[in-house]
A and B are shown apart, each in its own frame.
Chain A
Amino acid sequence: MAATPGSQNTQSQGYKYMLGSRTYQFSDLSQLMAKATPARSGDRLAGVAAESAEERAVAQRLLAEVPLKQFLQEALVPYEQDEITRLIMDDHSVEAFAPISHLCVGDFRNWLLSDEATSEMLSKVRDGITPEMAAAVSKLMRNQDLILVAKKCHVISAFRNTIGLPGHLSTRLQPNHPTDDATGIAASMLDGLLYGNGDAVIGINPATDNVAQATKLMQMMDAVIQEYEIPTQSCVLTHVTNTLEAIEQGAPVDLVFQSIGGTEATNSSFGFNLANLAEARDAALSLKRGTVGDNVMYFETGQGSALSADAHHGLDQQTCEARAYAVARKFKPLLVNTVVGFIGPEYLFDGKEIIRAGLEDHFCAKLLGLPMGCDICYTNHAQADQNDMDNLLTLLGVAGCTFIMGIPGSDDIMLNYQTTSFHDALYARRALGLRPSPEFEQWLTRMQIFQDAGRFTPSVELPSSFAKPLQRALGGRH
């Protein structure tokens, strides 16, 4: 007679499950989390993925039985070794945790989907949820669950405009140029603005990465924002220490940027720690450049960065990613985005894996209270194309994604990858009725960039404020 399927879990034995004549054993919570993760190439590369579909399904059953309290007792990366573990444990709110403290991971999913978990309730328990709890429950959730719960999580941030209101979708205008050429950048900025893009931020990845160049680009964007009185903010995506130096030299810094990961060792490989972020945030706040809010940080994340830095401590890449959100929420950012398909097929192989990862990252971040956007993107060596991006854009639009990237014709000629275009944002607006941030929408109408803001229709004629600049650019031509 076959043994009854079932689990026997004690901490000393790890996690054990009998299915027919087979016994599955998982040594600890890290391994159980990794084996329960939906399949992706990065976890196979790290050697932590489930070895069969059955092992994955069994790990999910066991993970469903783990009490949420367990995550407060069993640190996945040792407390003594990792400042992010310390941040997670030390900042955990017992009071916020109280309404869900009796749940195991499987029941946590039920609760999140239930009508008891209203938007108000979800923001009340936010500080009681650790990244690992969010990651664990996401591993049991289908894509539609990730969408439905994320949609209930309302996260609003503000600097010169208000971002994240329900029914709204913002865009980062990304006018990158392979040589940081001022005219080339200005041309892409004009294109983006006239397609109604840029309310999340106008953000440049510099081709030459040093303080002098960053300062030059900051001054350029600041001049444009002032000239046209655009209710938005600018950012040069350079290292946090560069931005700090720029602030000290008097540069017009709106937002401080940094790529972040979910372990201390990942962030060391990026050349910063939590104290650097705190110092840079204080410096940016001291400039008092925000008009409607004081969220001054912009973070980027992405599954696979910890493994890439050989700093993943045996964790799966999605759990590492969720831990990065603890870093982000400590510093009250205006924007966070997961650059989901940029890292390449050794971490997320194809469109299916990229889409799943995008939805997981958005869900976990929103559950933890972050203004999460997504760089919906792919490289040319991944098995993905524009149709996959259309799918993810539509799904994230439904899920209430905070912002997406906007680039001319989807082609980033500096970073050599494809992300969402100015046109794509207008598609999402029309298909799903998603509006830009209110201050920015008023500006689009006032500037006659949109002739019909309700239908998101750009004007046919060139808006009058841009006639002279265009003449300056084209000079005696035609």
Chain B
Amino acid sequence: MGHSDKQYVTPNAWQALRTYTDARIGLGRAGVSLPTSELLDFQLAHAQAQDAVHQPLDVGALVEQINPLIYECGLDPCHSLQSRAPDRPTYLQRPDLGRRLDDASAEILRQYAFTNHRAYDLAIAVVDGLSSRAIAENTQPFLTELCSALKHDKDEWSLAPLSIVTQGRVAIGDEIGYLINARAVLVMVGERPGLSSPDSLGLYLTWDPHVGLKDARRNCISNVRKAGLDYPDAVRKLMYLLKESRRMQLSGVQLKERSEEPVIEGAQPQQNFLISNEKP
């Protein structure tokens, strides 16, 4: 590919600027069109993003992967649950169905709650969402980091058994948290894959979960993945939210307003290389 590209492709002198951004700049051109190598790169990235949406989550493999951690934390075995969306095409067109557990899954949680008859500080739901890849790749390392942080926190955290949900959306955590009798629910969900980020995990925290809550009641941490917000940073942010949520007994907009990182103020425009006015 390399040598034929060189013959008919006009390169761009500013290609080296790619050091400063993930944007696909300085691609060069064949005539005025994309060079073949860039076209093929794009197609691969799009293929990976589509696969992330459509490949089913391998629940068995995930359970096997996280079982040692579950055992170490002294939790009961995971619950494997399903939403009311029976397949991907339905899931994609009916967000309402992805927000609710199917009857059998709801019954599993009801039975569990009935038998154990206790409350928890936190329930964690691992939900495939729009990227099974995000779940498969991030769940184990992220949970390892999180469980360690919870264990070492000065407050005690009682954890409900983990739920693993297929064809689910964020709001399905509301029903899970309610049925299992948890004071808060954390949903780990596969985010809508970007072309350069097919493996991005989203974290949603909701205090006092029950069916029918609006999104304004949730706090979100986005872009959790190796090449994005890494696990220690994500857990640090999450622990802050978890502790504040428990202290204030709420989540969502009211919590966000208090915990937002300070915005850098100042009227001076950021300098950039397109502007020539060098400082005297």
Do A458 and B29 contact each other (CB < 8 Å), given the known contacts A385-B46, A386-B46?
Answer: yes
Complex Cα distance A185/B194, Å?
19
Total number of residue pairs linking A and B with CB closer than 8 Å = 185
| Interface class of chain A by DSSP | helix
Considering the chains assembled together, what is the distance between the CA atoms of A429 and B265 in angstroms? 42
Specify which chain B residues have a CB less than 8 angstroms from the CB of A379 in the assembled complex. Answer: 192
Select which of A413, A460, A469, A478 is within 8 A of B16 by beta carbon. A478
Question: When the two chains form their complex, are residues A381 and B20 in contact, meaning their CB atoms are under 8 A apart?
Answer: no
What's the least CB distance linking B33 to chain A, in Å? 6
Q: In the complex, what distance in Å separates the CA atom of A189 from the CA atom of B272?
A: 11
Q: Kindly state whether residue B14 has any CB partner on chain A within 8 Å.
A: yes
- Contact between B195 and A416 (Cβ–Cβ < 8 Å)? yes
Alpha-carbon gap, A44 to B95, bound state (A): 12
**Shortest distance from the beta carbon of A356 to any chain B beta carbon, whole Å:** 16
Residues of A contacting B271 in the complex (Cβ-Cβ under 8 angstroms): 182
Contact mask for chain B residues 28-67; partner A; CB cutoff 8 A; 1 contact, 0 none? 0101111000100011011001101100000000000000
CB distance from A458 to the nearest CB of B (A): 7
Interface assignment of A462: CB less than 8 Å from any CB of chain B: yes
Q: Mark A42-80, 1 if CB is under 8 A from B, else 0.
A: 001100000000000000000000000000000000000
Distance in Å: Cβ of B170 to nearest Cβ of chain A? 14
Decide: B263 and A212 in contact? CB cutoff 8 A: yes
Bound-state CA distance A473–B266 (Å) is 24
Chain A positions within 8 Å of B197 at CB level: 416
Tell me the bound Cα distance from A259 to B6 in angstroms. 44
- For B24, list chain A residues within 8 Å (CB): 408-411, 421
- Chain B's closest residue to A180 (CB) is B270
By DSSP majority rule, is chain B's interface helix, strand, loop, or mixed? Answer: loop
CB interface residues, A 367-382, toward B, < 8 Å: 379-381
The size of the chain B interface, using a CB distance under 8 A, is: 56
Is the Cβ of A423 less than 8 Å from the Cβ of B276? no
Do B27 and A41 touch (CB < 8 A)?
no
Selecting from A15-23, A220-228, A393-401, the interface stretch reads A220-228
User: Is A432 on the interface with B (CB-CB < 8 A)?
Assistant: no
Task: Flag if A423 contacts B269 (CB, 8 Å).
Answer: no
CB of B94 closer than 8 Å to a CB of A: yes
Q: Chain B residues with Cβ under 8 A from A345's Cβ? A: 92-93
A213 interface residue (CB < 8 Å to B) = yes
The answer to whether B93 touches A346 (Cβ under 8 A) is yes
B73 within 8 A of A: no
Q: Are B13 and A462 in contact (CB under 8 A)?
A: yes
What's the least CB distance linking A448 to chain B, in Å? 13
Known: A381-B130, A411-B42, A469-B273. A187 touches B32 (CB 8 A): no
- Closest Cβ of chain B: how far from A276's Cβ, in Å? 21
Q: Which of A41, A215, A411 has the most B CB atoms < 10 Å from its CB?
A: A411
Which residues of B sit under 8 angstroms from A212, Cβ to Cβ?
263-266
Q: Which residue in A183, A213, A228, A413 is a CB contact (below 8 Å) of B263?
A: A213
The answer to whether B248 has its CB under 8 Å from any CB of chain A is no
Rounded to whole angstroms, the CA-CA distance of A416 and B33 in the bound complex is: 23
Show 30 A/B contacts (Cβ-Cβ < 8 Å), sorted by A: A177-B23, A178-B223, A183-B272, A184-B21, A187-B14, A187-B21, A191-B17, A194-B14, A212-B263, A216-B269, A219-B269, A223-B275, A227-B275, A344-B92, A345-B92, A346-B92, A346-B95, A349-B92, A380-B130, A381-B130, A410-B24, A416-B197, A418-B46, A423-B27, A426-B29, A430-B31, A456-B32, A458-B29, A460-B10, A470-B14
Beyond A178-B223, A386-B43, A474-B16, 12 additional contacts (C-beta under 8 Å) are A182-B272, A183-B272, A187-B25, A190-B274, A191-B14, A386-B46, A409-B42, A413-B195, A423-B33, A426-B32, A470-B14, A473-B17
